Amino acid sequence: MIWPPSITLQGKHVAVVPLGVEHHDALVDVVRDGEMWKYWYTKIPSPEAMQADIERRLGLRERGSMQPFVIVGKARNKVVGATSYMNIDADNRRVEIGSTWYARRVQRSPLNTECKLMLLSHAFETLPQSSEQILHPPKYFIHEAPVKVSLPDVHLTLGRVWRRIESDVNGEWSFYLILDEFLKSASTSKQAAAGWAGDRYATYENSSGQAAYVSLSAWDTTKDAREFFDAYVKRTKLRYADARVLSERATAWSAQTSEGAVTIELRGNRVLVLEGIPATVNSRGVIRLLWRSS
């Protein structure tokens, strides 16, 4: 079976259609709009070379390394460009989207954005649910979905002057970046983030502009959670040079910093992080509320 499956994709602005020899004249018209074969920074066939280029692309399709398409603008039902899946590696389910060019009249329009989104969606069949599935393709192909983590809104526990300004998921990639900003060791940060299973974080702000961060994460195993906990404690010590350690146990670490209190706790395969909690707030009450929801 050909992978990714070759079909016609229909969008609001464009249709993506498999390339055929019958598209020669239309593609010649496309490249003449702007004389694109003269662009120094890319390689686009001239009108005279178009037939040979079509034959080359169709030959690559026969060998399974490319799926070439033409892009049809729906406003006038005319071919406005070309694109392809290229460097296809069907055994490892790897593909690139490229060799794309458009008539000058439709450049910087919604057409390319919609075209690329349809190609991406079709290649994956279902878009990845997490950065983990992108970083580890086998997890995508076995449909290993992220663990759903609930995080209650704690702004009332923080105090009336606080409000939640953001709530989202970090994912494996963002945790890697958060760690490595201060650990400065790509291998250590990558290993510590690799066991990610799911998370949810929220940021809060008070009327004075002070910020607080709350995160609850789930990990594949208790060993993965321990590895992340240890790395995050190390990162936090480097992040807050003025930190005054209040408690340092095997499963809990807390400190007072110039930016507020920090607490990191490990329970089973979950890790809780609070940063920027002011001294006026009952942090234990916030922690109890968060763990109760997990």
| Tokens 């109760």 -> residue | 292
When pLDDT is cut at 50, 70 and 90, the band that residue 147 belongs to is very high
CA atoms of 256 and 244, how far apart (whole Å) = 5
Residue 120 confidence (pLDDT) above 70? yes
State pLDDT tens for residues 1-46: 466 666 899 999 999 999 999 999 999 999 999 899 998 878 899 9
Please compute the mean of the pLDDT values over residues 41-69 and round it to a whole number.
Answer: 92
Its sign, for the CA torsion 161, 210, 235, 185, is: positive
Please compute the mean of the pLDDT values over residues 159-183 and round it to a whole number.
Answer: 93
Architecture of the structural domain at 9-126: 3-Layer(aba) Sandwich (3.40)
**Which two structure tokens, joined as six digits, stand for 240?**
């807050």
**Which two structure tokens, joined as six digits, stand for 159?**
């105090």
Q: Where are the domains of the chain?
A: 9-126, 155-293
CA atoms of 200 and 168, how far apart (whole Å) = 6
Q: What is the pLDDT of residue 234?
A: 98
Question: What CATH topology corresponds to 155-293?
Answer: Protein Transport Mog1p; Chain A (3.40.1000)
Task: Give the Cβ contact number of residue 87 at 10 Å.
Answer: 14
Per DSSP bridges, beta strands 211-219 and 270-277 are: antiparallel
Percent of the chain with pLDDT over 70: 96
Say what the pTM is.
Answer: 0.62
When pLDDT is cut at 50, 70 and 90, the band that residue 57 belongs to is very high
CA atoms of 213 and 166, how far apart (whole Å) = 10
CA atoms of 182 and 161, how far apart (whole Å) = 31
Please compute the mean of the pLDDT values over residues 143-164 and round it to a whole number.
Answer: 88
DSSP label at residue 39: -
Angle, CA 19 vertex, CA 13 and CA 23 arms, to 5°: 85
